[in-house]
Amino acid sequence: MDDLAALASRILGAILGAFLALVFLIPKSRRELIARGTFSVIVGFLAGPPIRVYYLHWDSDPQYRMAAASGVAMLSWFVMEAAVRILRVWMPREKETE
């Protein structure tokens, strides 16, 4: 039962983090939303627990699990946005076909 609560809090936290990031960095298309949302939720779900334990030193209460997953998901969205912007500067645009 505890495992289920931990899993649910991680998933919910990751989704809420992606939602909060969406509020600040609004994508241009639905496709972009799906790509970034999926990436953020996965990163929040997977990287939330190790960051909570090793860096934040928080307890394993569901609220802390959720907050860690949420923070990581939000941060990953911002990092992805920054990476995309840097890549757009460095990579040449595709030539438009006539």
Residues that bind another protein (CB under 8 A): 16, 19-20, 22-24, 26-30, 32-33, 58, 63-64, 67, 71
Confirm if 21 and 74 have CB atoms less than 8 A apart.
Answer: yes
- Could you tell me the smallest distance in angstroms from the CB atom of residue 31 to another protein? 9
- Could you tell me the smallest distance in angstroms from the CB atom of residue 26 to another protein? 6
Alpha helices in 1-98 (DSSP H): 2-24, 30-51, 62-90
3-state DSSP assignment of residue 8: helix
- Could you tell me the smallest distance in angstroms from the CB atom of residue 39 to another protein? 16
- Closest to 37 (Cα-Cα) out of 86, 80, 85: 80
**Which one, 43 or 67, has the nearer CB to another protein?**
67
